[in-house]
Chains A and B, each alone.
Chain A
Amino acid sequence: MRTIRLYVRLLGAHLRSLLEYESDFWIMMVGTVIMQVVNVVFLAAIFAKVPHINGWSFWAVVAMFALVAIAEGVGSLFFEGMWNLAWQINQGDLDYMMVRPYPIVLQVSSMQIGVNGISNIVTGGLMLGFAIAHLGIDWTVGRIAGGVIVLLSAIAVKVAINLATNSVSFWMQSPSPLFAFAVHQVGDLARFPLSIYPLALKAALGFALPFAFVSFFPVTFVLDTGDAWVGLLTPVVAAYCLAVAWFIFSRGLRRYESAGN
């Protein structure tokens, strides 16, 4: 509990200074909303030509887009600092964090707030709301509870992949997180149904970098179509991803060499 309270405190400290640059704040917020709207317009244009993609309706794909947007939004709003890890390793900026009584990984991830996360969460939430309304889901108590757990796990998968790939910077020594960014781009593929991809990509997105558990499998679970049971594995995948990410981060930390004066 104290850990979480302190996390909010560390993040919140940056919020105030961020609001000092009001114009930046609004540009970020509006820019992100426009990007999401463009995504949906693009999707609608595709579905104007074909009624289904591989059996998936427009609104089912909107739900997948929505989950990616929400997961990314949570990542930027609460864990944006991870993207600075490469720079901090390169500059030796972890020194002081390592002598403070608070988990280092949380000190790193709370170093920055990505306010554009708010608009990603809001637009993603709206997209998800509309999609659910149009999909005519048979809501039982079990499905609601399962849906919430799967949604939270999907976000955790995304955050864990971010942490794992950024932690690779401990081995790279480069000042920018090129590897993590490349993987992040791959994650965009998860906006579309996994079933449209060839086997190799399916394996990559389902196992190696399980982005399919950020959007595709959670949606199949809620819709109760296809291999819906796989969606139920999302919490397990999330736990696994977090464990792997934590392992990579702590191994990396042992390699940390600070920086010479």
Chain B
Amino acid sequence: MALVEARQLTKVFRRPDKDPGMRGAVKHLFVRRFVDKTAVDHVDLSIDAGEAVAYVGPNGAGKSTTVKLLSGILQPTSGEVRIDGLSPQKDRIAVSHRIGVLFGQRTQLWWDLPVSESLAVLRDVYGIDHGTYRRRMARFEEVLELGEVLPVLGRKLSLGQRMRADLAAALLHAPPVVYLDEPTIGLDLAVKDRVRQFFRTVRDEGTTVMLTSHDLGDIEGFCRRLVIIDEGRIIFDGDLEAVKDAFARERILNVQTETVVPLEAARAALPGAAIEAGETPLHLGVRFDRFTMTAGHVVSALAPLANLVDFNVDEPSIEDVIRRVYSGELVLQP
């Protein structure tokens, strides 16, 4: 059995249906109307021990709701969740030792305590012995440079400091399963890099990680498996590299030539590729499928037409692919 299992998981929120403005608010006091919004719609998901999974989707797709269902914060409308065979809703305390949760938008540190004190309180809540605690803190110090943050009061932390402290708080009890929900939101690039580096060490230690993000930079180089959710439904669950291979097969070769090459001549030399005009008449863009043509082939086809001064190849990122999936341009078949 997988470590994390969701079967037909569904969450429907009931929202008051109010007309806009004061009138609508008053009217709602007397005539109560509600609309149902399905945030998570019959989701099946199973994650094995040691797996790193990216859970992506546009804003409001149901990512955070799924994480809250998987951690027992919300009660599912239907369907069920099992963590290591236990229900987080029914065996809350047992499951809490097995999971670590980080919500990037929300801190779990006490706002009126220094970080060191918040972490010490959590140590006692989880019943971690002092030796283990010191060892883990030393590691956080090493990878997250936590030392400078420890004496700062919760409410005085900068966003980057807060996120590092919150990561330490979420992982203090060394949970086998970790949910990271938007863990790099609002961070500057340097902190982002450090935090991403930290995720990789966590993953390499064998922790099962589910990473929710709409910053696709977080997932590239981090996980093999990609799950895409949109409007509460999982629309793709499969290998990240396979997605790239299947849908990021397009390459663009940008060339700069010494003399002007007419577009028609280039098209005649390269049937099967799309030729576009570049920023000057001396620039050309050649769009081709990397499975039917190679960059070398393109260069040698263009060489007889003019001397090539410079060229480079654009490779689309997974970001472009997922963006095209969101917009409905691409339909993925798992």
Contacts and interface: CB of A to CB of B under 8 A. Distances in A.
B313 to A, nearest CB: 38
Given A10-B121, A13-B121, A261-B182, A99 B72 contact: yes
B93 A99 contact: no
Interface stretch (B101-109, B251-259, B299-307): B101-109
B126 A101 contact: yes
B113 A13 contact: yes
Contacts of B92: 98
A1 to B, nearest CB: 13
Interface residues of A, number: 24
Interface string B108-138: 1010110001000110111100000000000
Nearest to B89: A254
A100 interface: yes
Given A9-B124, A261-B182, A98 B75 contact: no
A130 B98 CA distance: 54
B93 A96 contact: no
B210 interface: no
B267 interface: no
A56 interface: no
Given A6-B125, A9-B124, A96-B108, A258 B96 contact: no
A92 B68 CA distance: 11
Interface in B257-295: none
Contacts of A2: 127
Interface in A9-41: 9-10, 13-14, 16-17
Given A100-B96, A101-B96, A101-B97, A95 B73 contact: yes
B73 A102 contact: no
B64 A261 contact: yes
A258 B72 contact: no
B121 A99 contact: no
A98 B97 CA distance: 12
B105 A261 contact: yes
A99 B75 contact: no
A101 B126 CA distance: 6
15 contacts: A13-B110, A13-B117, A14-B110, A17-B113, A95-B68, A98-B92, A99-B99, A99-B101, A101-B93, A101-B97, A101-B125, A102-B125, A257-B74, A258-B74, A261-B182
Q: Top 5 closest A-B pairs, CB basis?
A: A96-B108, A17-B112, A101-B96, A98-B73, A101-B93
Interface of A: 2, 6, 9-10, 13-14, 16-17, 92-96, 98-102, 254, 256-258, 260-261
